[in-house]
Structure 1
Amino acid sequence: MKTILTPSRPELKEIWNEFKIRNPKTRIRDAARELNTTEAELVATGIGETAILLEGDFRELLKEVGTLGHVMALTRNDHVVHERKGVYENVSFNNHVGLALGPDIDLRLFLGDWKFGFAVHENDRHSLQFFNSFGDAAHKIYLTDKSNKEAFDALVAKYAAADQEVNLLVKPREEKKMEEENTPDIDTAAFQAEWLTLKDTHDFFGLLRKYKLSRKQALRLAPEGYAYRIAPDSMKAIFDGASETQVPIMVFVSNQNCIQIHTGPVDKIFVMGPWLNIMDPEFNLHLRQDAIDEAWVVKKPSEAGIVTGIELIDKEGTMFNQFFGKRKPGIPELPEWTQLVEKTAIPFEG
C-alpha cells in the first residue's frame, strides 16, 4: 500500500493547527483537500491528545454502540451531510455487510473497506470516527447530552490500539471519471419491458448491471413517464411542501461505505449560501444545491405499486441523494407524497 504525498505527522500537525486558527469555520473534509492530505490523517495528528486509534473488529464494536444510548449518527459524501439522532438498535452483520434497524438510526453498512477508526475528543465533543483506505470518512458517531459517557469510555478502552505510534498508510485517491452519457447500443425495448416488470426497487441495480448502463443513461432510456427531469432548484420547494403538509419522507445519503436513512416529517428549512438545510431537533440535512447537475423524478414498479423517488446526480454522474415518501416493503407509497412531488417539483427547461 502506498502513502499519499503529505508531510510527516509532526509537520502535518503544525500545518493543521495553523490552518484551524486561520480558518475556524472550514470543515475538516474541505480542509484536507486544501492541504493535499486526507481527513483520516488530519484526525491522526491528534493521537495522544485529541484522538485514540482503535483496532479490532469494527463489526463487534458497532454491535456495542447501542450501550451508548442516544447519539448522533453522521454519514456524508462530497455534497450532502446527513445527521440523525437516536439509539443504535438491531445491529447485525452478514460477513461485512451490516444493518442497523432502529426507528431512528437506520443504516446499511459496508465494512469491506472500513480501514481506520478513532475515538475523538475535540471542542467538548466525543465521537467515534471511521475512515476507508483512502482516508475518507465512512461514518461518524457523536455523543449527545443524553449519551452514556461511561459506556463510551469503556468501549474506547476495549478497542484502543495497543500501539498508538502509527503512521497511517492510505491509498492515493483515484480521480473521478465522468460517466458516459451517450446513448448505448442496447435493446431499448427489452430494457423498458424489464423496468416495467420490476417487483422490488432494489432490483433496479441489477437491471443497470445487466444492460451495462450508467444511472443517467438508464433514466434517459426509461419507459415513457417513468423518469423525467426537474429543475435542480426544485428541492427547496419540495422541502417546504413536505414541511407545510407534514408528509413523512425518507432521505437517503450514501457513500461507498454506508447508507444512512431518515424517515419522518421535516420542519425547519432554510438556505445559507450554497447549502439547503433541514434543521430539526433529531434530524439535520445539509445539501449543496450547486452540486446538483441533474435532478430526476423516477418511478419504479414494485409488488405494492409504483414507488416515486427523487434522485440527485452530480457532474461526474454519481447519484448522491435520494428521497421517497415514507413506506415499508409491501405497503403502497403515500398518495400525499406523490401529490407533493407533482405539485412542487419545478419542470426542467433545457
Structure 2
Amino acid sequence: MNRTTENNIRSIYEKYKQENPKVRIRDAAKALKVTEAELVYSSENNLYLLPDFHNLLNELKELGYVMALTRNEYAVHERKGIYSKAGFHGTIGLVVNPDIDLRLFMKDWKFVFAVNENNRKSIQFFDRFGNAIHKVYLTEKSSVEAYENLLDKFQTDQPDHLSIEIQIPLKELPLETEKFDAKEFHQEWKDLQDTHDFMGILKKHGLSRIQAMQNAPSGFTMEIPRSKIESILNLVSSLKTEIMVFVGNSSCLQIHTGLAQRIVRTGPWINILDEEFNLHLNDQAIHSLWIVKKPTNLGLVHSVEAFDDQGNLIIQFFGKRKPSIPESEDWRLLVQSLTETL
C-alpha cells in the first residue's frame, strides 16, 4: 500500500466510521476489503515502529500494568497484568507469569504500531498478511512515560508503503486413510507422557487437530453439544473452579489461569467479565465441541475444545495445573458431570 492508496483508505475508513460509529476495526477491514494493518497504517494518529520484536517485547514490562489482547475469528481473550521478560528459541517466544502467559510463534510477524484510538494507547503487532496478532493496551495504572520512552526508542522512518502479502487460505486435506496407521496413532496417544508432545504425534501422522478428534482411540474424545459451553462456564463460576483458558491465532496463544466468575450472555456471545480477565466467545460459531483426554506422567488431563466449521480451533479449556502438579480433581469432576446428562 503506497501513500496515495493510504490516503484513499483513510478517507474511506473515516466515512465508514461516521456511518457505523460502533464498528470495530477488524469488522471495518472486512467490510472495506482491506487488512486491519492497512487501516492502522492509514491513520495519522498511529506510528509505525521498528519491528525489532525481541527487544520490543522485552520493553513491555516497563509499561507496568496493562491489558494483553489476543483473538481469533470467534474468541477474544483479554488479560490484565505486567509483562515479564520474554524468552526465545528460534521463532518461538515465551512470556510466562501468573498474569500474562503467552506462546509466540514468530515466523510470520512483520509489523508493529503504536496506536492511539481516541487517546486509548496501545502497541499492536501484525503478521505479514496484515492480520492482528497481539495487542497491548495501556490502563489507568500503566506508565505513560514508559510508553513514550518506548516510542522514542523504537521510532523509525515511516515507510512509503506497507508491503502486505496475499494470504491463501489453507484447505484441510482429506485424511489419507490408506497411509494413516490408526493402530500406531492410537498407541502413541495412549502412551503420551506430556500434553506438549501431542502436536508432534499429529504432525507425524499428517493429522489436523479436528481429524485427531474424529480418529482418536476409543474413550479419549467425546463430541458434546455446543450449548455445553455455557453450562461449563456457569459451573466453573458457581463451583469457583480454577481453570485455564487458551485462545490463539496462528502467531500467538494467550492463556488465563484462575477463576471465571461473572458470566454474561450478549446475543451470540458468551462473556467472562471479571476485573482482570475478560473473554468474549461467539459460541454460535462453534461447529463441534469435544471433551478430550490425554495421558501424562501425572495422570489424565481433560480439556474441552471448540472448533469452527473449517476445523479451526477456537478455544480450549483445561483445569488449573502446573508441570509438577496433577490436574485438579474439581475440574475432572466438572467435566465428568457434562457427560452424565448426555
**Number of the residue aligned with 1:234:** 228
Deviations along 1:149-171, whole A, 9 cap, x unmatched?
A: 0000000111011x225321101
83, 89, 99: which is aligned to 1:88?
A: 83
* Counterpart Cα distance in 2 of 1:93 and 1:245: 37
Q: Which runs of 5+ in 1 are unaligned?
A: none
**Number of the residue aligned with 2:98:** 103
> 2:69 matched to 1:66?
no
The amino acid of 1:239's aligned partner reads L
266, 273, 281: which is aligned to 1:272?
A: 266
> 2:38 matched to 1:44?
no
Between stretches 165-174 and 197-206, larger displacement belongs to 165-174
Q: TM-score, normalised by structure 2?
A: 0.95
* Counterpart Cα distance in 1 of 2:340 and 2:31: 35
Name the SS for the 2:140 alignment partner.
Answer: strand
Q: Is the 8 A contact 1:230 1:347 kept in 2?
A: no
Matches within 5 A, 1:149-168: 149-161=144-156, 163-168=157-162
* Counterpart Cα distance in 1 of 2:50 and 2:85: 23
* Counterpart Cα distance in 1 of 2:247 and 2:108: 18
Q: TM-score, normalised by structure 1?
A: 0.93
| Alpha-carbon distance, 1:112 to partner | 1.9
11, 16, 40: which is aligned to 1:14?
A: 11
**Number of the residue aligned with 1:212:** 206
Deviations along 1:312-340, whole A, 9 cap, x unmatched?
A: 11111111211100000131101110111
Q: 1:164 to 1:225 in 2, by over 3 A?
A: same
> 2:131 matched to 1:136?
yes
**Number of the residue aligned with 1:310:** 304
Q: 1:43 to 1:184 in 2, by over 3 A?
A: farther
Q: 1:110 to 1:217 in 2, by over 3 A?
A: closer
* Counterpart Cα distance in 2 of 1:10 and 1:239: 45
**Number of the residue aligned with 1:291:** 285
Identity %: 47
Name the SS for the 2:226 alignment partner.
Answer: coil
Q: 1:209 to 1:56 in 2, by over 3 A?
A: closer
Q: Is the 8 A contact 2:175 2:207 kept in 1?
A: no
* Counterpart Cα distance in 2 of 1:297 and 1:192: 17
Q: Which runs of 5+ in 2 are unaligned?
A: none
The amino acid of 1:29's aligned partner reads R
| Alpha-carbon distance, 1:219 to partner | 1.5
> 2:299 matched to 1:320?
no
* Counterpart Cα distance in 2 of 1:345 and 1:262: 25
Between stretches 95-104 and 28-37, larger displacement belongs to 95-104
* Counterpart Cα distance in 2 of 1:194 and 1:95: 27
| Alpha-carbon distance, 1:90 to partner | 3.3
**Number of the residue aligned with 1:23:** 20
Name the SS for the 1:155 alignment partner.
Answer: helix
Deviations along 1:256-315, whole A, 9 cap, x unmatched?
A: 111100000011111111111111010001111122111000000001110000111111
Between stretches 209-218 and 226-235, larger displacement belongs to 209-218
Deviations along 1:58-97, whole A, 9 cap, x unmatched?
A: 1101101101100000001111100000000132212332
Deviations along 1:112-142, whole A, 9 cap, x unmatched?
A: 2211110011122100001000000011000
The Cα RMSD (Å) is: 1.9
Name the SS for the 1:112 alignment partner.
Answer: coil
The amino acid of 2:302's aligned partner reads T
Count residues with an aligned counterpart. Answer: 342
The amino acid of 2:161's aligned partner reads N
**Number of the residue aligned with 1:33:** 30
Q: Is the 8 A contact 1:303 1:330 kept in 2?
A: no
Between stretches 338-347 and 194-203, larger displacement belongs to 338-347
| Alpha-carbon distance, 1:184 to partner | 5.9
* Counterpart Cα distance in 2 of 1:22 and 1:240: 37
Deviations along 1:30-62, whole A, 9 cap, x unmatched?
A: 11011010000000111xx31010014111011
Between stretches 24-33 and 275-284, larger displacement belongs to 24-33
Name the SS for the 2:236 alignment partner.
Answer: helix
Q: Is the 8 A contact 1:84 1:105 kept in 2?
A: yes
* Counterpart Cα distance in 2 of 1:13 and 1:184: 53
Q: List 4+ stretches of structure 1 deviating above 4 A.
A: 181-185, 345-348
**Number of the residue aligned with 2:116:** 121
> 2:238 matched to 1:244?
yes
> 2:323 matched to 1:329?
yes
Q: Is the 8 A contact 1:44 1:51 kept in 2?
A: yes
* Counterpart Cα distance in 2 of 1:149 and 1:184: 59
| Alpha-carbon distance, 1:196 to partner | 0.6
| Alpha-carbon distance, 1:345 to partner | 5.8
The amino acid of 1:311's aligned partner reads E
* Counterpart Cα distance in 1 of 2:108 and 2:74: 21
* Counterpart Cα distance in 1 of 2:113 and 2:85: 23
* Counterpart Cα distance in 2 of 1:253 and 1:60: 24
Between stretches 179-188 and 83-92, larger displacement belongs to 179-188
Q: 1:342 to 1:121 in 2, by over 3 A?
A: same
| Alpha-carbon distance, 1:7 to partner | 7.8
